[in-house]
């Protein structure tokens, strides 16, 4: 359970950095508390998308991983971020990613920040 909470906090922090750095990734809300709550829910959705959908996409695109020496990971991460944005839109959450290239850069930012936060935050393992 602790591991789940740590990963969710790391994802929320990484998403916050992407929202802060990129104008085309938006998170709106009336107050800071509402934005923080929305960010936690978006982090949960992002984690769920990465847990359910990403492995299937990685298996289906395995030959492209070999051909591109792993660079297709940037595209897969961008697609997971776009899917998260779409799900948030369906759930009427105020998180939106505008455009594929924004999603690529956002996915890269989220990956780097999330990795750094996982290194810094305590974990069960």
Residues near 103 by beta carbon (within 8 Å), at least 6 away in sequence:
78, 79, 81, 82, 85, 97
Residue 94 has a pLDDT of 93
How many Å apart are CA 106 and CA 102, to the nearest integer?
6
Grade residue 20 by pLDDT with cuts at 50, 70 and 90.
very high
Residue 121 has a pLDDT of 75
The model's pLDDT over 30-88, given as tens digits with 9 standing for 90+, comes to: 888 999 999 999 999 999 999 999 999 999 999 999 999 989 999 999 999 999 999 99
Of the chain, the percentage scoring pLDDT greater than 70 comes to 95
How many Å apart are CA 17 and CA 37, to the nearest integer?
15
How many Å apart are CA 89 and CA 81, to the nearest integer?
12
Grade residue 1 by pLDDT with cuts at 50, 70 and 90.
low
Global pTM reads 0.89
């Amino acid at each position: 359970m602790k591991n789940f909470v740590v990963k969710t906090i790391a994802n929320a922090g990484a998403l916050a950095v992407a929202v802060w750095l990129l104008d085309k990734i938006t998170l709106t809300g009336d107050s800071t508390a509402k934005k923080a709550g929305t960010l936690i829910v978006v982090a949960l959705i992002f984690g769920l998308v990465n847990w359910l959908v990403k492995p299937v996409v990685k298996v289906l695109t395995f030959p492209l991983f070999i051909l591109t020496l792993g660079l297709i990971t940037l595209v897969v991460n961008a697609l997971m971020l776009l899917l998260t944005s779409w799900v948030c839109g369906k759930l009427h959450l105020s998180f939106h990613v505008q455009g594929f290239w924004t999603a690529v850069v956002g996915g890269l930012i989220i990956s780097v920040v999330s990795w750094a936060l996982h290194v810094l935050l305590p974990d069960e393992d």
